[in-house]
Amino acid sequence: MSTPDWAVEAHGLVKVFGDNRAVDGIDLFVRTGSVYGLLGPNGAGKTTAIRMLATLLRPDGGSGRIFGHDVVREAHIVRQLIGVTGQYASVDETLSARENLYLFSRLNGLSRTESRARSVALLEEFGLTDAAKRPLKNFSGGMRRRLDLAASLISQPPLIFLDEPTTGLDPRTRAQMWATIRRLVASGSTILLTTQYLDEADQLADRIAVIDRGVVVAEGTADELKATIGNSSLQLVLADPAHLAQAQAVVEQILHVNAAVSPEARRINAPMTSPDTVTDLLIRLRGEGIAVTELSVQKPTLDEVFLTLTGRPATAEDAETPQRELEGSFT
Amino acid sequence: MSQVSQIAIIPGAERKLRNRVSIGQAIRDSFIMGYRGLLKIRRTPEQLFDVTLQPIIFTLLFTYIFGGAISGDVQSYLPIIIPGILAQTVLASSSATGTQLREDMDKGVFDRFKSLPIARIAPLAGALLADTVRYFIATTLTFAMGFLLGYRPGGGVAGVLAAGALMIVCAWALSWIFAFLGVISRTASSVQGLSLLILLPLTFLSNAFVPVKTMPDWLQWLVNVNPVTHLITAVRDLADKNVVGTDLGLALLGAAILVAVFAPLTVRLYMRKA
């Protein structure tokens, strides 16, 4: 039997689509009452992993347990314990917000009176009362997400899956979403969320698993991860592209890390543990006669996390969408 | 926003967990999904165009265009054409089941249904249930149009009600074919195309508009094996004379066979995808 305080346990989860191993043996352990973040670029397998644990997809290999209940054999029990908020709002577009919540309440086994009361309360809770009767076609992205989350909370589930809860939201709406998620945690929920934003995982999650090409490449608390990838990221633009290789060697020597070179932009990127080392670096560069036109130190982006963890950038070759949003450090 | 009670959780240990769905719950869930279908109709009334405009326009068109040529005058053509139009519109409206099911399954809301502890069959059963309302509307409107044009069926109210009920039952049976197409097809438009391929021969190769005697022998044979012909004859018998004949039996037999073949097939494929 499993330890009772695991909300989610996954052993070697595998999902294959054609010849694409979308999820290739993922192990996950999420403690009850914690927030767990799956961090990775598009197409890394985050959504597929979550869909298997939420009983929406059947695993091709491995096993998953939710509060000790198998996601395949006891799927119906698992569905009584979870709330799922999808990447694309899983609500009925043709109906109003109130009708959506009423229907999902009824399907959750509430009586007509209870369903009406619960819908009103949730609309209030998520600031949707004014828009309750309008059809969803006129809803903004943020309103849709809020309604979606409200629908996931009808049964007051002890475990909530949030698949990219803030992707595509403007900064203000994102901050509101974060506040809501924090309130959920305060009420005792366990949350498993996926995100493309390093910052989001950092802000919300107690533990983070970094996923790339269907496997977990790193796992730990936000602080543990940061220790491995560096607290900040250095960006250097050179005056003369001929100095690129030489400058890269200097950076790697002083910062003791791999540096990424973008020749077209005459740019070098590297993670760094302490901004103090910039001084040493600049002195060495001047000594070697390498002119620098631009220098900045930022929080690391997801791209740099991948560079550090996998030794290569988070390439888009196996992603669904070619361009990727990499705004990890800005909110 | 400070109201914590609504988002408070109920831990697993305090829940009564069951891994089975009772028959009672399956029926309840199906009716809730049926209610969802009705709500959708209310929100998008254009969904009802086929079952409202078609009975009105087709009845007018066919009656006045063919009436004189086939029966000598409009009045004596009505007992032939009204059951014919009825069959055509109601059966055609059953094809919407497939397209709507496909569209629904492609939407995000279907994920939500799959993640809820409801009977797996409920979204399918609910869709089929809600569509009977459409058949009812089409049936009522066609008879009402006929009545306006002077159609006075001899079977009286009882005969007309029985004929309408028969029509709705058969349309529901036929909708299983379209539900099947909806489940196996990849896009809603391909469902629509296939549905038309089935509907056209089924409704036109029948006695819906023209007496069978006027057709060539080989065609007569085809028309007479078409269950829709028997359905239309049964509707005419019921409406005109309130008589139950062999055609009624044949029509119901055809409906039963359709359901017996396509219901288990559709449900099995649907459950695999759901």
Please state, rounded to an integer, the average pLDDT across all residues of chain B: 89
Q: Specify the range with the lowest mean pLDDT, choosing from A208-212, A228-232, B5-9.
A: B5-9
Query: Architecture of domain A232-298 in CATH?
Result: 2-Layer Sandwich (3.30)
**Stronger pLDDT, A316 or A308, i.e. the higher one:** A308
Q: What is the mean pLDDT of residues B52-60?
A: 90
Lowest-pLDDT choice from A12-21, A219-228, B186-195, B244-253: A219-228
Pick the more confident residue, A63 or B7.
A63
Q: Which fold has domain A6-223?
A: Rossmann fold (3.40.50)
Full-model pTM = 0.80
DSSP H/E element including B103: helix B96-106
For residues A301-311, give the mean pLDDT.
69
Which range is least confidently modeled, A144-148, A323-327, B190-194?
A323-327
Convert the pLDDT of each residue in A273-293 to its tens digit. Answer: 777 888 888 899 999 888 889
Is B9 in contact with A188 (Cβ distance < 8 A)? Answer: yes
pLDDT category of residue A323 using cuts at 50, 70 and 90? very low
Compute the distance between CA of residue B20 and CA of residue B121 in angstroms, rounded to an integer: 13
A6-223 and A232-298, same CATH topology: no
Residue A305 has pLDDT above 80, yes or no: no
User: What's the count of helices (H) and strands (E) in chain A, helices before strands?
Assistant: 11, 14
Query: So what's the ipTM on this one?
Result: 0.83
Contact between A187 and B9 using a beta-carbon 8 Å cutoff: yes
Collect all residues of chain A within an 8 Å Cβ-Cβ radius of residue B36: 92, 95, 103
Q: How far apart are CA A152 and CA B7, in angstroms?
A: 10
Residue of B14, B19, B29, B40 to mutate, testing the A interface (most A Cβ within 10 Å of its Cβ) = B19
**What pLDDT is attached to residue B33?**
95
Taking a contact as any Cβ pair under 8 Å apart, which residues of chain B between 158 and 187 contact chain A? none
Residue A321 has pLDDT above 70, yes or no: no
**Average pLDDT for B240-247:** 88
| The pLDDT of residue B50 | 85
pLDDT at A89: 67
- B10 touches A at CB < 8 Å: yes
Residue B69: exposure state from Cβ atoms within 10 A (0-12, 13-18, ≥19):
exposed
A to B CB pairs, distance under 8 Å: 123
**pLDDT value of position A142:** 84
Highest mean pLDDT pick, A247-256, A315-324, B8-17: A247-256
pLDDT at A313: 62
Q: What is the pLDDT of residue A318?
A: 39
What gap in Å lies between CA A168 and CA A69, rounded to an integer? 34
Mean predicted confidence (pLDDT) in A144-168 = 90
Question: What tokens does A86 get?
Answer: 């999808």
Kindly determine whether residue B39 and residue A95, on different chains, have CB atoms separated by under 8 Å. Answer: yes
Residues in contact with A127: Cβ distance below 8 Å, sequence separation at least 6, in sequence order: A146, B1
Q: Which of A101-115, A231-245, A270-284, A297-311 bottoms out in mean pLDDT, i.e. has the lowest? A: A297-311
Start-end of H helices in B2-152: 23-43, 49-71, 74-94, 96-106, 108-115, 122-149
Q: Is A170 a residue whose pLDDT tops 60? A: yes
- pLDDT for the residue A330: 36
Q: Average pLDDT in the B252-265 region?
A: 93
pLDDT higher at B41 or A310 = B41
